[in-house]
Structure 1
């Protein structure tokens, strides 16, 4: 064992009514970018994109009710994934 945390991954459903667009995308990107490890997000069957990039989140096209996979690798991966997942599963439109 090399002392590194294993990769962390979680599947969650997008809660915001506008999906990961506009304000929700900005909030998710800010949180993802603040993590100690890079965080990715992907829709089922699609390539993961950097969760810390608003543009990447907008092009992902994740809508309300879509399932996405949030993943990170390295020290702090579990905490990073949980922080981003908490936002994705919260109604952020208000």
Structure 2
């Protein structure tokens, strides 16, 4: 039975190269099939174990993603990935809203 969770991305620059690499490396450490989708853009699910696939989702700050894990270690995988996303994927989370551009 697969586990599914929806999470909001709070990283100031979304899932750009560095946080995406942290996410993919963590996902690759599990045997379960782990998939991710960008709900904000209605993207199809992609493997969470491919940096190209994850970057291709175009996840930006404020976007909502869905994670799905299925396999023997699905609970551990989901807990680890949820924790990483909540903690900012090894990047500081800027809680202030982005500044308006100067005209």
1:47 aligns with 2:60: no
Q: SS in structure 2 opposite 1:88?
A: helix
1:12 aligns with 2:10: no
TM-score (ref. length: structure 2): 0.79
TM-score (ref. length: structure 1): 0.85
Aligned equivalent of 2:74, options 68, 77, 92: 77
Distance 1:67 1:31 in 2: 19
Q: SS in structure 2 opposite 1:36?
A: coil
Task: Mark the structure with the bigger radius of gyration.
Answer: 2
CA RMSD of aligned residues (A): 1.3
Distance 2:78 2:44 in 1: 17
Aligned equivalent of 1:33, options 28, 37, 46: 28
Paired residues in the alignment total: 89
Distance 2:14 2:56 in 1: 12
Q: Which has the higher contact order (CA 8 A, sep 6+)?
A: 1
